[in-house]
Structure 1
Amino acid sequence: MTKQMRLNAFSMNCVGHQSPGLWRHPRDRSADYTSLSYWTELARTLERGKFDGIFLADVMGVYDVYGGTPDAALRNGVQVPVNDPMLLVPGMAAVTEHLGFGITGTLSFEPPFSFARRMSTLDHLTGGRVSWNIVTGYLDSAAKAMGRQRQIGHDARYDMAEEYMEVVYKLWEGSWEDDAVRRDRAAGIFTDPAKVHRVTHHGEYYDLEGIHLPEPSPQRTPVLFQAGSSAKGQAFAASHSECVFVSAPSRQIVGPAVSKLRQQVEAAGRNSSDVLVFAMMTVIVGETDEAAQRKLEDYKAYVSHEGALVLMSGWTGIDFSGCRPDEVVKHMRNDAIHSAIDRFTIADPQRAWTVGEVADFIGIGGASPIIVGSPGRVADELEAWMRETGVDGFNLTYQVMPETFVDFVDLVVPELQKRGVFKRDYAPGTLREKLFGAGPRLTSPHPAARYRRGAGRPQQKAAE
């Protein structure tokens, strides 16, 4: 059977996501991001194209590493201003039936009790179509805005994340039994109190005593995404993730990373097929190769190189404002995103990137590779990426909104469907059922299943 390609639209509730400066393009509508109709129109387009979901990035701070101030980020609209991604979901869900919604949530700054309630609420409102992109944060500006002196150390953030996951699993999986809600009008009983259990947790980072407030949602635990590429991040993904988001400029970097991840998943006692891997990708398509190339050259005229280095500085924690364009990017380690500097240094020892080359590269599609061409050429390249790297699909960036996604839906999707590598219709059920063809809930050996009422000894510890 031909392996089916998975597709997400990669976006953010802001004006400038991964292609800094392109908001100035005359056909771009991303400045309308504060309008709900902007998002509902996009959701309809993606569902028409049978996309698996829209993957919404987020940051809780501002990119102020470049030059030591937020001025360049503000001037260029680099992921600021930015609004809450969660609040977009009910509106988009109301105009679609199948599209999934990936929400980035930074666990370092959010109490697990309130976060778990909001995710359960969204799972109810969408009929089980939500996923959570688990991030630990990387901006000092976010930590300071949340009342801390600086960002917690990289590895310590993942230690905190492990405990956070334990707490939310207890809430989602262990507080309410499946038949707790009776809705018995005759008996006057809405919920059977004997089947709702207090969650007790006293750990190094979190203390909690209380019941999960929402009744069980369709998926209980949302589909779990994770994008960490450091040693700690990959170990975390191997234990918890159902979908992993990878980002690198070449197949030579992505392929080994995917192989290593799948080995770690197996070592964690899970089946590697239980994890789908999505690579970030930029696609610029035209009716012909020449038309697509003209479109790329048009887009390049609007790139903000300063904005690109604002992103790179924020991702890496390195201030590139004083660097010459011909300086070679050097490897260093700090508490920002380890993979962000690795991908342009040690990940590919055969390639030495200069600061100017990095700015050019990031200017269109962020840190993703670029495929430019006719529908046939684009389909060829996407299939080659899957074949040669082992990824299961792609998170597609945009350059001009909504043009990028309309072009892909109208030109590339029919070509992929004709080749039999992309679905012609959605499978029924929740997002987890659509992606994996199994039931709506996580099952053993995933750690969430341990905390289900009646699932064994760990469960009894989870909800008393």
Structure 2
Amino acid sequence: MKDEIRLNAFAMNTVGHQSPGLWRHPRDRSADYRHLAHWLDLARTLERGRFDGIFFADVLGVYDVYGGTPDAALRAAIQVPANDPLLLVPAMAAVTEHLGFGVTATLTYEPPFPFARRMSTLDHLTGGRVGWNVVTGYLDSAARAAGRPRQVAHDARYDLAEEYMEVVYRLWEESWDDDAVLRDRASGVFTDPAKVRRIRHDGTHFQLDALHLSEPSPQRTPVLYQAGSSSRGRAFAGRHAECVFVSGPSAAVVAPRVRAIRQAAAEAGRDPDDILVFAMMTVILGETEAAAHARHEDYLAYADPVGALALMSGWTGVDFSRLRLDEEVRHVENDAGRTAMDNITRADPDRVWTVRQVAEHVGIGGIGPVMVGDPGQVADRLEAFAQATDVDGFNLCYAVLPESFEDIADLLVPELTRRGRYKRSYGSGTLREKLFGRARLDCSHPAGRLRCASGTQAPRRP
């Protein structure tokens, strides 16, 4: 069992995120998502709790599968309205020193050239604390917003993603030598043109002939996150991901997914232990067990079952409004996200879910487990979950914001630290250095291989 349990905060630049209806709770402040002070306060809380980072989810569409309209999502604030997560990062970085930022960005609808510059800019402004959660999209509403009749078929999205990664890797890793920028005031030469190269790509999905506009950032390629658990998603993660986000209602569901991801890394020629795996989890804490359960009951009173089904309909592509509450949920193959449906139809052969049970389960914490108890009890369960699944840490959802994260920082973190299962202080350097002990991707990774082959990494100056 690994000694250190790692924690990320799982959030979104929206209302509610993973717990439909909880925005109505009198102590919840997620509806303040429009105000910068809200996010700055959260950043300070997370750094006080020594979280590795905040993992920002995002979607580029609305959940309009339930009932065939966006009405349920709009009424219940099911991840709409939603603002751009990338714009929060520089401000949150300015009030913290160590907190990392994993931002979700969908590659399907944005050309790689401007996106590569945006991520390099964030890496510069944060001092190397940014990561990219690579997603291909799963909502038809997002495709229509981008001028397409429907989303690209599931496996075809990964074909496009492979080429996209090749292009951005070349921009980040090949275009500029580490010592291309001279900043030589005496000679008047800022950049040595001989150490900047044009990237040319003529592929199936993308054509490019350009210099990367940003000089090399601290990490060059941001830390790479990925969350796909389908067979194609696992293969993609094994080839590209440094951190993988998994979800499932129990350790029995999560464990084989972790094994499959590590196997995919080995098949891609990488060390399976070079991937950090984070499981989605919601913890509800109290100073005593009774206080924790009272808080859980309080939260449940605000859960919105229709909102939960609207969220699940968007994740799975299945219109739950057409099913009776006591009807069993059965597997359907489609081009939406497959993991959410697998969680309730295939992953646990000993359990058959009804629509009512799905609504109750998703009501707090989405499709991940919910742990309720005092700090010692929750720490015990997290340790047991990590032991049973081989995960490296957890992406922790909130039920009530910022209360959930304040409780983790003030109650859970001290308990994990006392047990020797949590870092007593942050390490130095970039996000990748904190997580893996190196600032740049090594030569076993596809991006690192490009840099190693091209010789763009010059010897470090004293």
TM-score (norm 2): 0.98
Aligned counterpart, 1:462: none
Offset from partner CA, 1:320-361 (integer Å, 9 cap, x none): 012111100001100001111111011111110000000000
Distance, in Å, in 1 between the alignment partners of 2:27 and 2:191 is 53
Deviation at 1:436, TM superposition (A): 0.9
Distance, in Å, in 2 between the alignment partners of 1:30 and 1:274 is 35
- Which SS does the other structure have where 1:371 is aligned? strand
Aligned counterpart, 2:351: 351
Offset from partner CA, 1:132-166 (integer Å, 9 cap, x none): 00000000000000110100000000000000000
**Is the aligned partner of 1:412 residue 2:394?**
no
Aligned counterpart, 2:110: 110
Distance, in Å, in 2 between the alignment partners of 1:390 and 1:165 is 28
Aligned counterpart, 1:427: 427
Distance, in Å, in 2 between the alignment partners of 1:293 and 1:325 is 26
TM-score (norm 1): 0.97
Distance, in Å, in 1 between the alignment partners of 2:452 and 2:46 is 37
**Is the aligned partner of 1:243 residue 2:246?**
no
- Which SS does the other structure have where 2:89 is aligned? helix
Distance, in Å, in 1 between the alignment partners of 2:349 and 2:333 is 17
Q: Is the 8 A contact 1:313 1:320 kept in 2?
A: yes
The aligned runs of 1:35-434 (5 Å cut-off) are 35-434=35-434
Distance, in Å, in 2 between the alignment partners of 1:450 and 1:419 is 39
- Which SS does the other structure have where 2:294 is aligned? helix
Distance, in Å, in 2 between the alignment partners of 1:225 and 1:3 is 22
Distance, in Å, in 1 between the alignment partners of 2:318 and 2:88 is 32
- In structure 2, what residue type is equivalent to 1:407? D
**Is the aligned partner of 1:451 residue 2:450?**
yes
Q: Is the 8 A contact 2:167 2:201 kept in 1?
A: yes
- In structure 2, what residue type is equivalent to 1:81? P
Percent pairwise identity? 67
Q: Is the 8 A contact 2:328 2:355 kept in 1?
A: yes
Distance, in Å, in 1 between the alignment partners of 2:3 and 2:333 is 38
Deviation at 1:233, TM superposition (A): 0.2
Q: Is the 8 A contact 2:174 2:454 kept in 1?
A: no
Q: Is the 8 A contact 1:281 1:396 kept in 2?
A: yes
Deviation at 1:56, TM superposition (A): 0.3
Q: Is the 8 A contact 1:20 1:76 kept in 2?
A: yes
Unaligned runs of 5+ in 2: 458-462
RMSD after superposition: 1.2
Q: 4+ residue runs of structure 1 moved beyond 2 angstroms?
A: 453-456
Q: Is the 8 A contact 1:16 1:80 kept in 2?
A: no
- In structure 2, what residue type is equivalent to 1:307? G
Distance, in Å, in 1 between the alignment partners of 2:224 and 2:251 is 25
Offset from partner CA, 1:398-432 (integer Å, 9 cap, x none): 01110000011000000000000000100000000
- In structure 2, what residue type is equivalent to 1:13? N
- Which SS does the other structure have where 1:281 is aligned? strand
Unaligned runs of 5+ in 1: 460-464
Deviation at 1:454, TM superposition (A): 4.5
Distance of aligned partners of 1:252 and 1:232 in 2 relative to their CA distance in 1, 3 Å threshold? same
Deviation at 1:455, TM superposition (A): 3.8
Distance, in Å, in 2 between the alignment partners of 1:158 and 1:265 is 16
Distance, in Å, in 2 between the alignment partners of 1:333 and 1:340 is 12
Q: Is the 8 A contact 1:177 1:453 kept in 2?
A: no
